Structure 1
Amino acid sequence: MTEPGLIVIGSGPAGVGAAGAYRQRRPEAPVRVLTADDRHPYARPPLSKEFLRGETDDVGMHPEQWFDERAIEVILAAPVEHIDVARRIVTAGGEEYPYSALVLASGASPSPLPVPGGERALQLRSLDDADRLRAAATEARSAVVIGAGFIGCEAAASLASRGLSVTLVAPSEMPQQKRLGEAAGQRLLELVEATGARYVGGVEIATIEGNSVLLESGVTITADLILAATGITPNSGLADDIGVELQDGRIVVDAEMSTNVDGVYAAGDVARAFNTTAGRPLMVEHWQDAADQGEVAGASAAGDDDAKWSGVPGFWTTIGDATVKYHAWGDGFDRCRLVEHDGGFTVWYEADGATVGVLTYNADDDYDEGEELISAGKPAPVDMDADRGADSH
């Protein structure tokens, strides 16, 4: 058995962020990252974009030298079998690893398409998934992408750029309509269609048979490749097994990323974390926020009492050549207004008179200002009643 130190379960941005932050504060203690993945830590954002388009194979999160220089041991192909919180031992890949602090950064898994034949559809979460999808795209002439979240839109655009005839299908009339409103949904629809992909909205999938997607309307769409981008499910089973508090399937943590179990922290997609600026718990599934939470978890595990999660969640998404940026608390709005710019747009979101979100395309100043306004709880810098076409929720 090895010397106790920090054990991180998961090699995504939260896990690697935790390991790095802990190492900065504890230069001597062992730091180990355990992952069931057999690939060295990699970035997921390129998988639906540059990697899928065949423009790069380099998706490493950091060079291996980065881990070596920091004496962070990454143990691959080591699924966790058991956590003994009384003895502070993790059993993974048949080996026992003692810990003084444990960070659960186990992420999430793709939610299967809940229809007959749904298992036939490809998924996109891991690098192995991306390899399979890219290989299938090489041989395919047509594709159906199910689900118009940002991953679905990105993948549909990337497949279309490879010359495939792509149909993106989703229950909403426009991409992200429920989450972002009708005005934003219309603009996202235009960006998707500008890549050459076709959007079919307001439909439900009945079944998948062979290479055919059957809609509940009776329409059948046939394609060489079928991808389901239908959301994720947090990997919270390990936490549940050791008595960590869960809510909505996610691990409940405070602003320091501490759980209710002594010495156990959590961060990333698997966490329901308290944000000090928002003043309430949030559930986010963004790459940078997972990294930020991981750094807080690692710092807290190392004894840093000042580390707290306080940033405004946000991310960038690229649909074809268009980069869309979003900052928001992510728990709703009561009205929004779209403002057109030369070659772009901004959508401002308010709740109870305070800015709670901003979505931009070719409007970086608004994106930066939006983050400040959201953090300060100030109103949007536009007349929210001026545009009678704005959405209200």
Structure 2
Amino acid sequence: MPPGVEVRLGSAVTHIDLEARTATVAGEALAFDKLVLATGSRNSAFPVADDDAEVHQLRSLDDARLLDAAARRSRSAVVIGSGFIGCEAAASLALRGVETTLVTPEDGPQQARLGHHLSDQIASWLGDLGVELRTGVNVTGVEAPRTVHLDDGTTLAPDLVLAAVGVEAAAGELFEGTGLQLHEGRVVADEYLAAAPDVWVVGDASRALNAGAGRPIPVEHWGDALSMGELAGANAAAGEGERRAWSDVPGFFSTIGEHTIKYLAWGDGHEKEEVVDRTGGFTIWYADASDVVVGVLTYNADDDYERGEALISAGATLTEVLAGARAEDPAHEEDA
């Protein structure tokens, strides 16, 4: 551990007093000159399950160990939710020989967020692994120990149930009464990630103004939490005129079976999508109603991913991006 750094494991902050500049840990008020809030998120509650139903969630290392142990003794599984955690987990369970069913209210995995093309592709990848997709259905209850009831009248009785239904800010109640501005449990911050004088907030706990997007953006991706942490630390140590604004385009990687997709986007939806085929892969460009590119997703098309952030940040139009994409792709030149 570097000199001057003290780590307290197994300890929780129970109170923050910004006026007194103290954080209470295990009954002890620790004084601070500067404070960085990085409290993360927790799994959203799954309210339709019996209290004693065996429903796994996946957030922590302990969760992963429990899920691994359950998978070792299971022949069948139901995964609830078709976000990336749900799709990744369903693929991993199937690869371990567990007969897996994925249940989702969406018409296809990630369809609402990322469009029909990628949704169909994910469904194909999952199907190739033997995952059964139950789309357009909701779970109405999980009866102890592991009986899953769906709103189409179907009842499933797997050996393992995993709920992957999203997250919520982990420590919103800790910040209540501190004077910090909150939005849906997240701490509101400016483009420097500052939430109050000498207080910074990063990661899932933050609803910070992104200077590139020109609006507040909550993010739930670990890569962004890392970069925001580095920026907040640098800004906390810098002088007033030396602080840097947060302007990164949020994004993440996701590996579903043997297939890795890469995504960058402002994260508040799109109106258009355009698919560009690549050798052994594809790129999807997303645009808003004004034809401005707001996101990119790639599969085996790293060149597009690497230039995507600059194009999104620059506010390039879909027409401009596609003209450049097609001109740079030998496959399209051959077609011409």
Give the TM-score of the pair, scaled to structure 1.
0.77
Q: CA deviation at 1:70?
A: 5.7
Equivalent residue, structure 2, for 1:57:
none
SS of aligned partner of 1:309: coil
Question: What number of residue pairs does the alignment pair up?
Answer: 316
Question: Which residue, out of 344, 347, 363, partners 2:301?
Answer: 363
Equivalent residue, structure 1, for 2:329:
none
Are 1:130 and 2:70 counterparts?
no
Question: Which residue, out of 239, 250, 269, partners 1:313?
Answer: 250
Question: Which residue, out of 180, 186, 192, partners 1:244?
Answer: 180
Answer whether contact 2:55 2:146 (CA < 8 A) is retained.
no
The letter for the 2-side match of 1:183 is: H
Give distance in 1, aligned partners of 2:117 and 2:3: 47
1:306-385 equivalences in 2 (<5 Å): 306-351=243-288, 352-380=290-318, 381-382=321-322
Q: CA deviation at 1:378?
A: 0.4
The C-alpha deviation readout for 1:77-128, integer Å capped at 9, x for no partner, is: 1011111222211111233321111111101100021214276311100111
Give distance in 2, aligned partners of 1:70 and 1:137: 43
Q: What CA RMSD, in Å, does the superposition of the two structures yield over aligned residues?
A: 1.7
Equivalent residue, structure 1, for 2:100:
166
Give distance in 2, aligned partners of 1:154 and 1:186: 15
Are 1:217 and 2:155 counterparts?
no
Q: CA deviation at 1:71?
A: 4.4
SS of aligned partner of 2:34: strand
Give distance in 2, aligned partners of 1:70 and 1:162: 44
Question: Which residue, out of 206, 216, 230, partners 1:295?
Answer: 230
Answer whether contact 2:108 2:120 (CA < 8 A) is retained.
yes
SS of aligned partner of 1:243: coil
1:1-393 equivalences in 2 (<5 Å): 68-69=1-2, 71-117=4-50, 120-209=54-143, 210-235=145-170, 236-259=172-195, 261-304=196-239, 305-351=242-288, 352-380=290-318, 381-382=321-322
Answer whether contact 1:273 1:283 (CA < 8 A) is retained.
yes
SS of aligned partner of 1:109: strand
The letter for the 2-side match of 1:242 is: T
The letter for the 2-side match of 1:382 is: L
The C-alpha deviation readout for 1:202-227, integer Å capped at 9, x for no partner, is: 00001111221110111011111100
Q: CA deviation at 1:366?
A: 1.3
Give distance in 1, aligned partners of 2:141 and 2:120: 28
Unaligned stretches of 5+ residues in structure 2: 327-336
Q: CA deviation at 1:156?
A: 0.8
The letter for the 2-side match of 1:237 is: E
- The higher-RCO structure (CA 8 Å, 6+ apart) is 1
Give distance in 2, aligned partners of 1:174 and 1:163: 23
Instruction: State, as a whole percentage, how many aligned pairs show the same letter.
Output: 47
Equivalent residue, structure 2, for 1:49:
none
Answer whether contact 1:267 1:297 (CA < 8 A) is retained.
yes
Unaligned stretches of 5+ residues in structure 1: 1-67, 387-393
